[in-house]
Amino acid sequence: MGLFGLGRPSEPAAPLPIPRATRSWPKAQPKPAPSYGAPPPEAAPAAPLEKPASWGGVAPKPVLTPAAIRAAVAAAATPLPGGRRPDPVMFVARAAAKQARGDHEGAIEDFSRALEIDPACVTAWAGRAVSLEEKGDLEAAKRDYARSIEIEIRGEIARQERSGPSIDVRA
């Protein structure tokens, strides 16, 4: 039978010729071993480090006290060299971490500190509003939400004005 079982039986096709390679490739030659020069002189063994007896063989973990945290915040609030002001992002990030842990009082303090540095920080206004809402102070939360929306809208209006006049397609 032929193809699809109709007609006469098909004969097997002759095999195609296989081309032979006409070029022979050289075999890989071993590479010489690299020379790194003379070995370095033997170093004297280092003296073991002495640990204070008060450690008991274990290094103490640093303890963050509230005073140390306040000192770090005060240091961050001082003007940087060149008269630059500190960046509120550090306070916003720390406040967000406190907020995620459920420490809304600490988050409100950090968001407020970020707003002292940059009163136009929309993220700080909105974040503080979330913490105030979680604490139950809905009036203050509403004011902070409104302030964040107002700043965002003013920024969008300023971006639109900078981009130039818009083309009115209705005319």
Q: What percent of the chain has pLDDT over 70?
A: 57
Give residue 80's identity as a one-letter amino acid code: L
For range 140-144, the mean pLDDT: 94
For residue 88, give both structure tokens.
């509120």
pLDDT, position 67: 72
Q: What count of Cα atoms within 13 Å lies in the side-chain half-sphere of residue 112?
A: 10
CB atoms within 10 A of CB 149: 14
Within 8 A by CB and 6+ apart from 126, the residues are 144, 145, 148
Q: CATH topology for 83-162?
A: 1.25.40
pTM over 0.95: no
Domain boundaries, the chain: 83-162
**CB atoms near residue 19 (< 10 Å):** 6
| Encoded tokens for 72 | 């770090």
More confident residue, 161 or 49: 161
pLDDT exceeds cutoff 60 at 58: no
Specify the range with the lowest mean pLDDT, choosing from 28-37, 45-54, 131-140, 153-162: 45-54
99-138: per-residue pLDDT in tens? 999 999 999 999 999 999 888 899 999 999 999 999 999 9
Which one has a higher pLDDT value, 21 or 149? 149
95 has a pLDDT exceeding 90: yes
Lowest-confidence segment of 22-36, 53-67, 74-88 by average pLDDT: 53-67
Average pLDDT score over residue span 64-84: 64
